[in-house]
A and B are shown apart, each in its own frame.
Chain A
Amino acid sequence: MKRTELIMGMPITVAIPDRERMDDVGPQTRFATVADAADAVFEYFRAVDEQFSPYKPTSETSRIDRGELSEAQASPEMLEVLRLSEETRKETDGYFDVRFKGRFDPSGLVKGWAIYRAARILDDDGFISFCIEAGGDIEVRGANDEGQPWAIGLRSPFDPSKLIRKLALPGCGIATSGTYIRGEHIYNPRTGSAANEIASFTVIGPNVYEADRFATAAFAMGKAGIEFMAARPDLDAYMVEWSGTATYTPGFARFIQS
């Protein structure tokens, strides 16, 4: 089973091998079929969108942004996102900040966090194998329909219809940050460079939440991002420059299938 819906302004795909619910399932499971499970995942993303979208005036994000809701009045989910945002801001030395120009927008963190939480819904129901992808970031579990490791393609930043690498992934998370428009620059105060030489930055981590937040921060760092990743034993990365050169950490090599 593989289904895609457009939620949060991006395509979200849930893939679950049919074998996952072919055996008798215990009474403790909520989902009798893989389709039921996918429904629940999509429903979760719709709820996250209602709560966190900066484009919906009624969302909790918008209410905090307008100052109608204080952080003390925030929901437990929002408090968790605020806590993770602050943690990420510190870990990336300010490269990642949900507050800028007096506005509040945690979208950069919510995507990875939501995918990870959605995966937990399936984990908790006993699913061994599945993939949940939202806007190019993926949480991976178990094996695909053929019983093989999930085959994940890396999209070419030069031609979005093409792939540059085929990866075989175990249980982990993968996220890519970047832009497909050359010249969409990013200012790096540390080097004084206004141009970003980096076309895309892919991170594989223990889960998609970790991969996503570090892919975003590393992309903002420019070429130093790959060295930052090489120094993190829990993360591996593949960086593509506009020059056509790719650089990756040694640990990334074990995921490359072709």
Chain B
Amino acid sequence: MKNTTRTRIAAGAIAGAMSLGAVSQVTALTANAVAGLKSGTFTGRREYAYYGYVRVQAVVQSGKVVDVKILEYPSDNGRSRYINSIALPYLIQETVDAQSYRVDLISGATFTSSAFVKSVTDALRQAGA
């Protein structure tokens, strides 16, 4: 098992925010509820999540997040009910460290995709101009 610190983050990006336009307006909850990973129960700030408010509670034991409860999430209108028919997603966070694993194949960026990123950059520069 890898020795990393993990923090669960309740993503503000509710599963209804399918278009980029929506995502850009989403406010993600930050990891402040479990900063330093002290043991205890932490209630996160009430955060606006595009279609309503989200508030979560995290339970930390021995430096690990053992539970995240959703205290509040958007449910006041038809739009939100649609969104909540899909589970509220969590994002999991960790600190990366280099390893030497024995693997069959490797996934990673190449110069090819790097070049493509440059072309995307150029396209975006034009789009934003």
Contact = CB atoms under 8 A, between A and B. Distances in A.
B96 A246 contact: yes
Interface in A133-181: 133, 135-138, 144, 150-160, 162-166, 174-181
A166 B112 contact: no
Contacts of B106: 133, 136, 152-155, 163
Interface string B82-96: 000010011111111
B52 to A, nearest CB: 15
Interface in A209-258: 216, 219-221, 224, 226-228, 230-233, 240, 244-250, 252-253, 258
Interface string B19-34: 1110110101000000
Interface in B103-117: 103-117
- Secondary structure at the A interface, as helix, strand, loop or mixed, is mixed
Given A156-B96, A228-B13, A190 B110 contact: no
B86 A233 contact: yes
11 contacts: A108-B116, A151-B101, A151-B104, A155-B109, A164-B96, A164-B97, A164-B99, A174-B107, A190-B20, A219-B117, A231-B15
Interface of B: 1-2, 9, 11-21, 23-24, 26, 28, 86, 89-128
